[in-house]
Amino acid sequence: MNETHTPPPSGGLTLPGVHTREALARFAGDEARYRHWLVEFVTHGPTATSQIRAAISAGATDTATKLTHAFKGRSGMLGMVELHSIALSLEMALKSGEPTNLWLEELERTVDEMSRAISASLGESGQ
């Protein structure tokens, strides 16, 4: 039997906790654009979590909720299912007035891990 192997549409790009095929489809198959936004996440992710922490620390729950919601959307668009789920849990805790510290710490830890994985896989240029 003669089988042909079809490479994944993301050119073999794999990142832990990222559904690259689904995300690439959201970018209409434009791998360069998808890679650009992954590399951009390396800066954006830590900045966003710092802003969320600052808003929570300042008691600005509405701002923290909006920032978390935006982060959740971006991580979902990029196929980062674990981050999306953690951001959703943090957003729900903020909306319900529940403690947020554990979810925030988990978000920060996972963003750091994701940023490192992206940097290791794609470097600064996304190539």
Provide block-wise average pLDDT over 10 residues at a time, the chain (127 residues): 38 81 94 95 97 98 98 97 97 97 98 95 64
Within-domain flag for 127: no
Whole-number pLDDT of residue 14? 81
Within-domain flag for 100: yes
What is the three-state SS of the chain?
CCCCCCCCCCCCCCCCCECHHHHHHHCCCCHHHHHHHHHHHHHHHHHHHHHHHHHHHCCCHHHHHHHHHHHHHHHHHCCEHHHHHHHHHHHHHHHHCCCCHHHHHHHHHHHHHHHHHHHHHHCCCCC
Residue numbers of the domain that contains 34: 29-122
**Considering its fold, how many domains does the chain have in total?**
1
Within-domain flag for 91: yes
Whole-number pLDDT of residue 83? 96
Q: Give me the residues paired with residue 18 across strands.
A: 80
C-alpha gyration radius of the chain: 16
Tokens, residue 19: 């559904």
**Planar angle of CA 96, 98, 101, nearest 5 degrees:** 135
Whole-number pLDDT of residue 15? 85
Within-domain flag for 3: no
pTM for this model (two decimals) = 0.85
Dihedral sign, Cα of residue 46, residue 39, residue 91, residue 93:
negative
Within-domain flag for 58: yes
Within-domain flag for 98: yes
CATH code for position 65:
1.20.120.160
Whole-number pLDDT of residue 11? 55
Whole-number pLDDT of residue 123? 72
Within-domain flag for 99: yes
Within-domain flag for 7: no
